[in-house]
């Protein structure tokens, strides 16, 4: 980080996709880029396999998995029986700690590089993350429902002890519109973390360009 700062001076860090991700686990064919047509998908053990540990299909899965039909805990990530901490733990137990650990390491590296506390924004967080960095509420959609959700999300993360938090102002997915973006900018002014952001296939959310929707 120190070497990079000598080339490109920066004031903080944004760490994204900082949880174990693997698109295509247990999928045939896996969802991989066209230039990788022959890669086989990662296969996790099933209840009928001799080496099945019970972690891939627990009796009580998370709500996020429950409401996504046909998916399980390993969806878009690694097998829950995968070993971490030099074989001492399972992915099932440590999956949510990756983002937290990276936030801690980034916080310390920034402090050594800049000589002061600096902002770290993480996508994946865990209890006590607020001591080391902040959080943004993830990829949202340019809808009024998501504007309302940004209010709830910001308040909830303050309750979680992560007060440095905000959303993708105006919405990330889909085209925004002038009124929605205006109201979201007004809301974002009260967030401790403010960022206007949208996907690269949508019109810019600045000036008159946004009025096309």
Tens of pLDDT along 40-58?
A: 889 999 999 988 989 998 8
> Are 105 and 198 contained in the same domain?
yes
Is residue 176 domain-shared with residue 159, that is, in the same domain?
yes
pLDDT for the residue 199: 87
Chosen domain end from 33, 62, 95: 95
Residue 14 located in a structural domain: no
Q: Does pLDDT of 59 surpass 90?
A: no
Distance, CA of 39 to CA of 171 (rounded, Å): 34
Final residue in a domain of this structure, among 71, 95, 119: 95
Phi and psi at 103, nearest 5°, equal -65, -45
Residues 109 and 85 in one domain: no
Task: Find the radius of gyration of the CA atoms of the chain.
Answer: 20
Side-chain half-sphere CA neighbours of 160 within 13 A? 18
Can you give the pLDDT at residue 40? 84
Q: Which residue has the higher pLDDT, 26 or 212?
A: 26
Averaged confidence pLDDT in the chain: 89
Q: What 3-state DSSP class applies to 30?
A: coil
| Residue at a domain's end among 95, 115, 130 | 95
Can you give the pLDDT at residue 206?
A: 66
| Residues designated catalytic | 16, 19
Task: Specify the pLDDT at position 211.
Answer: 41
Query: Do 90 and 68 lie in a common domain?
Result: yes
- Look up the CATH number of the domain holding residue 190: 3.20.20.80
Collect all residues with Cβ–Cβ distance below 8 Å to 51 and sequence separation of at least 6. 45, 81
Which residues have a Cβ under 8 Å from the Cβ of 196 and sit 6 or more positions away?
A: 168, 169, 170, 185, 188, 205, 206
Nearest 5°: CA angle at 78, between 125 and 122? 20
How many structural domains compose the chain?
2
Residue numbers of the domain that contains 119: 97-212
Predicted local confidence at residue 212, as pLDDT: 40
Q: 105-155 pLDDT, tens per residue?
A: 999 999 999 999 999 999 999 999 999 999 999 899 999 999 999 999 999
If asked whether residues 116 and 70 sit together in one domain, one would say: no
Cβ atoms 90, 55 nearer than 8 A: yes
Q: Which of 29, 67, 73 is nearest to 53 (CA)?
A: 73
Determine, yes or no, domain membership for 7: no
**What pLDDT, on the 0 to 100 scale, is given for residue 207?**
53
pLDDT in tens, 163-210: 999 999 999 999 999 999 999 999 999 999 998 888 888 888 865 444
Specify if 126 maps to a domain. yes
Is 27 within a domain? yes
């Amino acid at each position: 980080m120190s070497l990079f700062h000598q080339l490109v001076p920066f004031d903080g860090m944004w760490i994204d996709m900082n949880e174990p991700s693997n698109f295509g686990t247990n999928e045939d064919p896996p969802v991989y880029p066209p230039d990788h047509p022959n890669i086989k998908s990662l296969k996790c053990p099933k209840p009928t396999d001799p080496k099945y540990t019970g972690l891939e299909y627990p009796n009580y899965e998370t709500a996020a998995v429950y409401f996504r039909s046909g998916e399980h805990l390993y969806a878009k990530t690694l097998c829950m029986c995968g070993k971490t901490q030099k074989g001492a733990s399972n992915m099932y137990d440590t999956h949510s700690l990756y983002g937290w650990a990276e936030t801690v390491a980034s916080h310390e590296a920034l402090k050594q590089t800049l000589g002061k506390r600096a902002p770290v924004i993480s996508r994946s967080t865990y209890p006590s993350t607020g001591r080391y960095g902040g959080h943004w509420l993830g990829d949202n959609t340019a809808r009024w429902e998501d504007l309302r959700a940004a209010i709830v999300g910001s308040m909830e993360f303050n309750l979680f002890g992560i007060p440095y938090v905000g959303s993708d102002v105006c919405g990330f997915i889909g085209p925004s519109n002038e009124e929605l973006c205006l109201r979201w900018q007004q809301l974002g002014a009260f967030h401790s973390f403010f960022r206007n952001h949208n996907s690269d296939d949508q019109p810019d959310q600045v000036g008159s360009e946004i009025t096309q929707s």
